[in-house]
């Protein structure tokens, strides 16, 4: 089942769009089926869960952190993950930088932008992203490679289009501004309900949970 679904999604989306399988609450066996169908990037919201899944799977996979990163998990996250998609404060940036420095790593990160401007949600407000990036550019063990955004919860996918547009504009603007300094390449937006619209609006990385694995258990 999972295998057929993933193969169809890969066939249907443009070749330049990367799929991140959002693996929260999934078993390694489920994740393995997605991998067998061609998924190369696994996203997880939890450091410990990712660690377990990673131990159970081998192969040439990339691991992306896509959850809220707590300070006390940064050390482990920096070791386990290839990309952190949810950088949203300078405090977190400094911690990631320090822990990466200790292990001699330059950590690739995406800046999470809060296009919906929902205060209860993570992410830098759009009008503060440029200044934030200027600050983070001073941290030598962080490498900024793009933007990540989450749409507003309450909206259906069509209503998210203006938010995707705004994120794309911001992504292009920053890419232009820092074209000599940054390897600025990923715009991570769109989830199971919204990825088609997100791709139409310029996403080149989509994060899919339900669309690949089916409904999650309610916790
Ligand atoms: C769970 C999750 C997803 C995937 O959500 P679905 O609606 O199941 O596709 C994508 N991004 C983040 C940050 C998530 O936490």
What is the whole-number distance in angstroms between the Cα of residue 21 and the centre of ligand 1?
Answer: 9
Taking only the tens of pLDDT, the chain with its 219 residues reads 999 999 999 999 999 999 999 999 999 999 999 999 999 999 999 999 999 999 999 889 999 999 999 999 999 999 999 999 999 999 999 999 999 999 999 999 999 999 999 888 899 999 999 999 999 999 999 999 999 999 887 767 778 999 999 999 999 999 999 999 999 999 999 999 999 999 999 999 999 999 999 998 765
- Per-residue pLDDT, 156: 75
Taking a C-beta distance cutoff of 8 angstroms, is the pair 35, 61 a contact?
yes
What is the whole-number distance in angstroms between the Cα of residue 136 and the centre of ligand 1?
Answer: 26
- Per-residue pLDDT, 74: 98
- Residue in the structure block whose two tokens are 């290839």: 82
Shortest-distance atom of ligand 1 to CA 24: 1
Strand partners, 186: 146
- Per-residue pLDDT, 218: 63
What is the whole-number distance in angstroms between the Cα of residue 207 and the centre of ligand 1?
Answer: 6
Could you tell me which residues come within 8 angstroms of residue 147 by beta carbon, excluding any fewer than 6 positions away? 110, 111, 112, 113, 129, 167, 170, 171, 174, 186, 187, 188, 189
Taking a C-beta distance cutoff of 8 angstroms, is the pair 145, 108 a contact?
yes
Report the C-alpha gap between 188 and 40 in whole angstroms. Answer: 15
Report the C-alpha gap between 74 and 84 in whole angstroms. Answer: 10
What is the value of pTM for the model shown?
0.96
- Per-residue pLDDT, 14: 98
Shortest-distance atom of ligand 1 to CA 191: 9
């Amino acid at each position: 089942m999972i295998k057929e679904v993933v193969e169809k999604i890969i066939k249907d989306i443009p070749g330049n769009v990367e799929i991140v399988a959002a693996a929260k609450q999934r078993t390694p066996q489920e994740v393995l089926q997605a991998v067998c169908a061609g998924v190369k990037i696994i996203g997880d919201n939890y450091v410990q869960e990712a660690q377990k899944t990673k131990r159970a799977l081998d192969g040439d996979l990339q691991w992306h952190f896509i959850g809220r990163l707590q300070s006390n998990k940064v050390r482990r996250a920096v070791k386990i993950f290839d990309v952190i998609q949810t950088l949203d404060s300078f405090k977190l940036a400094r911690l990631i930088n320090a822990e990466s420095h200790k292990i001699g790593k330059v950590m690739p990160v995406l800046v999470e932008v809060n296009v919906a401007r929902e205060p209860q949600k993570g992410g830098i407000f759009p009008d503060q992203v440029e200044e934030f990036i200027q600050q983070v550019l001073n941290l030598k063990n962080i490498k900024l490679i793009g933007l990540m955004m989450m749409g507003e919860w309450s909206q259906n996918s069509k209503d998210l289009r203006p938010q995707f547009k705004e994120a794309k504009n911001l992504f292009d603007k920053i890419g232009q501004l820092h074209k000599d300094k940054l390897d600025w390449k990923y715009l991570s937006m769109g989830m199971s309900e919204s990825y088609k619209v997100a791709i139409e609006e310029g996403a080149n990385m989509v994060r899919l949970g339900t669309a690949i694995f089916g409904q999650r258990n309610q916790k």
